[in-house]
A and B are shown apart, each in its own frame.
Chain A
Amino acid sequence: MLGNAIYPLLATSWGRTTKERLGVKDFIEFPTRHDANHRTSKVGHPEPTQRQLDRENKNPMRIRFNPLTIKKFRRFRSIRRGYVSLLVLVFMILLSLGAELLVNSRALVVHYQGQFYWPTYGNPIPGTVFGQDYQHETNYRELARQFEAEGGRNWVLMPPVPYNPYENDFRDNTLPPSPPSTRDRHFCGTDASGRDVLARLVYGFRLAIFFSLALLLATFMTGISLGSSMGYFGGPFDLIFQRLIEIWSSVPNLYVIIIIASVVIPNFWILLFILWAFGWMGMTWTMRTVTYKERARDYVLAARALGASHSRIIFRHILPNTVSVIVSYVPFQVAGGIVALAALDFLGFGLPPPEPSWGELLQQGWANLSAWWLSGSVVAAMVLTLVLVTFIGEAVREALDPKMHTTYE
């Protein structure tokens, strides 16, 4: 749909050659997923002692990851660009989780009359607590200035960016948007209504990435459960859903989403539902095809002959063999979700107004052409995030499905 389901197109290796990374012995050394899954006790081998069993139970990772998975992960790690991108992205997500500590109008620490206050989380502290003459929440930036002017032993430690994404910082002699200024600590300037751009970028990133991950979870759950049962059971069930998917994929997505979003005033969950309703088909179709192929293999027949139930075969036998397909779709789906949300916000059919969002910032940058910092900072943030995600995706794909190319001199 809005995203990109064209991941196989990027099937080139730009890093080191695959031959380097994939020694021939790797093919011999590691058993297939299936052999590794069934531990058999052979004659002559002693039964595992209680201590060994305890160790395995304490360390479930040993059981869950079979050598092939570890091998794939090592191969992914050897693709530096993708691996570093993953680390950077995870770091960014973790930072955004603690955004309240970095970008906030509330102080990190206030030292007032020998007592420490930690206002970041929890209920707002009224101004009277710090000897101010108002009942509403303390304005910590004012307080910091006041304490500094007094020169006493009271002090306030503000976060690096002392603004939250919702407040309007109006200055006396200028009209927003105002350009970046390190003196006011508006590192990326302010937007058309005087809100700090960096603050909105950071909180917008958090919103976008978690929206995207939630969308990913929803589409994958549908795709995996529906797709693998379609491929496994086949028959009329498969046929009905095939036609349904065929019909549903022909809907001009973005347009219909816009029409629906213009009717209901969407919030986070409604938007998620709409995008899910028009985006579940791709994953389902892929899973159907993969399961269909796996089902024809001998191990499924063997498991069936041993009396395994359908659900056991699907979840314990077929699904582990399709994991690589599922994983290689993840980064591209994440990028697609971020872009879809930004597009809807840009058009004005996304999250309701006060929410910090990249699409809304793009819209402001588009409407205020002279305020270069608006579009500049949000485009830079988008480029950074999307390129990171795409690098990861390309590396994952390459790690799971290495391709060898013959080249001619």
Chain B
Amino acid sequence: MTAYFIRRTLLIIPTFIGITLMVFAITRFVPGGPIERMIAEAQRMQVEGGGGRASAGAGVQRQPLSDEQIEFLRQYYGFDKPLLNSYAAWLGKVIRGDLGISTRYQDPVWDMIRSRIPISLYFGLISMVLTYGVCIPLGIVKAIRHKTAFDNVSSIIVFVGYAIPGWVIGIYLLVWLAGWWDVFPLGNLVSENFEELSLIDKILDLAWHSVLPVIAYMIGAFASMTFLMKNTLMDNLAADYVRTAIAKGLPFRRAVFGHALRNSLIPIATSFGHNISIILTGSFLIEKVFNIDGMGLLGYESVLERDYPVVLGVLVIASLLFLIGNILSDVCVAAVDPRVQFD
């Protein structure tokens, strides 16, 4: 078992290098990188500086930066060195905790990411607590009352939630409840006058803004989690040890909660580790739909703006979290189920 976890931990290294090297290589060969952006910006400055006169002769625009300047920029961003050399230099910096500087905002990438983490964390934690808090009891009730009206009706609702991804439902909720009926705000995390509100109003404002995104976050995990709970509990209820317990005269309630439920929670633990990456990186789609300034939106916008240090920074954090989450899942499984043997 220990050997297994050591191997898994060591596998993080090649995986991490593989992912980042691939994306690093891609970002190197793209038109529209930082240097092109600077040339374009300098061109715009020239045009604006020249006033209306220059725009007329825009067809013969000269290269705004001299060759030396471009050469300096290439050196600055490490484009003058071969791919592997500059990758090694980048990796060395990352290991020392330096993710570089955003080419767009000139801020350190780590600071940008760090300022977004609390927002993603807020939504991640709330939706996780709510998902577990609702799904486990719901799954238990559905398993015990299998084939009753309650089970069938809730199945249909959960089923639709399973078929439709959360962000699509998010768009729909946003259009109807925020755009049409004005019940909820149009995205963002807080109102514009947030600073002026009293503490209670602040909390209410935050909660009011959080309802729709949290629903969207929950839907995906909600359906699968409820069914997982229901099915495993039903499998366990059908197992011989529960039948024996009931045959010996144990009350049904105690057979469920004392015997079957404990074993049924094992599969739920399997997916627990993945929460870490969902909590911290959020979902690009949901953060974009609700315009929430979390890590997902940061990553998405940096791709749009070709701000590669930020792209790579988000990738580094996201893939590390994902890899750690995978291992954490295995640890959870091993911790709750002594029968599990990893080889």
- A and B co-occur in one complex: yes
> Chain A interface (Cβ within 8 Å of chain B)?
4, 6, 9-12, 14, 243, 246-247, 250-252, 254-256, 258-260, 262-263, 335, 339, 342-343, 346-348, 362, 365-366, 369-370, 372, 375-376, 379, 382-383, 386-387, 389-390, 404-408
Task: Label chain A's interface by main secondary structure.
Answer: helix
Chain B nearest CB from A93 CB (Å) reads: 18
Complex-state Cα separation, A389 to B174, whole angstroms: 25
Q: List 21 A-B contacts (CB under 8 A).
A: A10-B231, A12-B155, A250-B319, A250-B323, A252-B277, A252-B318, A255-B318, A258-B284, A258-B303, A342-B168, A343-B285, A346-B285, A365-B175, A369-B175, A370-B180, A375-B175, A379-B164, A383-B160, A387-B160, A407-B147, A407-B237
Q: Is B314 an interface residue (CB 8 A)?
A: yes
Closest to A249 in B: B326
Q: What A residues does B15 contact at CB under 8 A?
A: 246-247, 250
Q: Is B79 an interface residue (CB 8 A)?
A: no
Closest to A254 in B: B284
Complex-state Cα separation, A376 to B171, whole angstroms: 10
Pair A383/B300 contact, Cβ less than 8 Å: no
Pair A375/B234 contact, Cβ less than 8 Å: no
Q: Is B114 an interface residue (CB 8 A)?
A: no
Pair A372/B175 contact, Cβ less than 8 Å: yes
Pair B163/A256 contact, Cβ less than 8 Å: no
Closest to B160 in A: A387
**Cross-chain contact of B306 among A262, A346, A408 (Cβ < 8 A):** A262
Q: Is B258 an interface residue (CB 8 A)?
A: no
Pair B224/A255 contact, Cβ less than 8 Å: no
Per-residue CB contact flags for chain B residues 294-313 toward chain A (1 = under 8 Å, else 0) read 00000110011010000100
Pair B146/A405 contact, Cβ less than 8 Å: yes
Chain B nearest CB from A220 CB (Å) reads: 21
Complex-state Cα separation, A407 to B227, whole angstroms: 17
Pair B227/A12 contact, Cβ less than 8 Å: yes
Q: What B residues does A372 contact at CB under 8 A?
A: 175-176, 179-180
Pair A387/B163 contact, Cβ less than 8 Å: yes
Pair B289/A256 contact, Cβ less than 8 Å: no
Give residues 226-241 of B contacting A (CB, 8 Å).
227-228, 230-231, 234-235, 237-238
Q: What A residues does B262 contact at CB under 8 A?
A: none
Complex-state Cα separation, A6 to B303, whole angstroms: 30
- Among B18, B171, B246, B281, residue most surrounded by chain A Cβ atoms (within 10 Å): B171
Pair A379/B171 contact, Cβ less than 8 Å: yes
Q: What B residues does A335 contact at CB under 8 A?
A: 163
Q: What B residues does A256 contact at CB under 8 A?
A: 19, 22-23, 315
Q: Is B14 an interface residue (CB 8 A)?
A: yes
